[in-house]
Amino acid sequence: MAGGDRVPDGIEPMLATPDRGRLPDAEKYAYEWKWDGYRAVMRIAPDGTTVLTSRNRIDFTPRYPELAGAFGAALGGRPAVLDGEIVALDESGRPDFGLLQNHGTSGRTVAYFAFDVLQLGAELLLGETYDERRKVLAGLEPPDPRLIVLTPSYSHAELAADGTGPQDLLEVAAERGLEGLVAKDRRSKYHPGRRSPDWLKHPLIRTLEVVVGGWRPGQGNREGTIGALLLGAHARDSGDLLYIGDVGTGFTRATLADLRAKLTPLERKTSPFANDVPRDRARDARWVTPKLVGEVVYRQFTPGERRLRHTAWRGWRPDKAPADVEVPLSQ
């Protein structure tokens, strides 16, 4: 920490590795819900001043003022750094990514779902095991559980004692409309900024972060607005931005207006993609500088031609940097 009453220094979040569709089932794991929100590190000064930072160091604090000072005096003047997700819940208490996207107009309050603690007081906890950090987290007492939620963790042993297992937990996640599970090695340390096999994520739906490199005009009832977005991701070997498909569904009228407003200032004359875009997609394309990251739901990614199939738009990902978006591995 830089000074007595200052906000603690930032810590890059540790990242989970995809489990390739095989949910881990072993005694060394604990299981957490996978939340459908924005990953954010919460840093709290001794006086309660709070800063929320995304994975790519965007300051989320002004966007979610209800979370500023949410811990109040509950930390007893101790600085703290937490890891978690900013989540918006619908009227039935289920995470709703659309509400989070439209936070400014939806009128819904967001909450911070904390699943790890990286610093408490003067002590950094990065070298402690997952179990030890979870014990520290469980000892915190947020004054308003509607704003700060300490997320549950279920050890493999606890599930077995109840006659259940991780697959049963996954079924509960599906019933509750959650995004999936994350299996975490209970002996693992916290590795800032690293994508570690100690944490394995098992999503219930396939989503992918994409870089928007252009758009095609709409036709019919979409004439005069956007018909489809042209999507890209960076090659894992060369780093080149490659065209990997498009998305033309999942847009509301408000979304289409927002897309146009954000993309118009980024227009350019040439394609930003290093590979060829199919002629029928490139013919009337409006190219943009690839500065914005979005997210799509998809059914299939074909490894040979490296194309997304059956896509739908989910929304912008202001918490992600374009350089971090990579072509998915074969599935």
Is-contact 48 7, C-beta < 8 A?
no
Q: Across all residues in the chain, what is the average pLDDT? A: 93
Contacts of residue 178, defined as CB under 8 A and 6 or more positions apart, other chains included, come to 33, 34, 35, 36, 94, 95, 204
Residue 285 CA to residue 50 CA, distance in Å, equals 43
Sheet holding 29-34, edge to edge: 15-18, 195-203, 180-185, 29-34, 154-155
Averaged pLDDT for residues 309-328: 93
Distance from chain centroid for Cα 224: 32
Is-contact 325 306, C-beta < 8 A?
no
Judge whether 34 counts as a catalytic residue.
yes
Which has the higher per-residue pLDDT, 219 or 117?
Answer: 117
pLDDT of 3 strictly over 50: no
pTM of the model: 0.78
Catalytic hit among 34, 184, 201, 320:
34
3-state secondary structure of 38: strand
Enclosing H/E stretch for 83: strand 80-88
Contacts of residue 128, defined as CB under 8 A and 6 or more positions apart, other chains included, come to 136, 189, 190
Boundaries of every domain in the chain: 14-35+152-205, 36-150, 207-324
Q: How confident is the model at residue 97 (pLDDT cuts 50, 70, 90)?
A: confident
Q: Do domains 14-35+152-205 and 36-150 have the same CATH topology?
A: no
Q: CATH number of the domain at 14-35+152-205, please?
A: 3.30.1490.70
Q: How confident is the model at residue 5 (pLDDT cuts 50, 70, 90)?
A: confident
Output the six-digit token pair for 3: 């000074």
3-state secondary structure of 135: helix
Look at residue 134 in the predicted model and tell me its pLDDT: 98
Is-contact 151 33, C-beta < 8 A?
yes
For the beta carbon of residue 276, count every other beta carbon within 10 angstroms: 10
pLDDT of 330 strictly over 70: no
207-324: CATH, from 2.60.120.580, 2.60.40.1930, 3.40.50.300, 2.40.50.140: 2.40.50.140
Give one DSSP letter per residue of 242-268, joined into a string: EEEEEE--S--HHHHHHHHHHHGGGEE
Q: Which of 86-90, 94-98, 134-138, 253-257 has the lowest mean pLDDT?
A: 94-98
- The pLDDT tens digits for 299-308 are 888 877 889 9
- The pLDDT tens digits for 224-240 are 899 999 999 999 999 99
CATH number 1.20.1260.10 is the correct assignment for the domain at 36-150:
no
- The pLDDT tens digits for 25-74 are 999 999 999 998 999 999 999 999 999 999 888 999 999 999 988 987 88
Residue 219 CA to residue 270 CA, distance in Å, equals 23
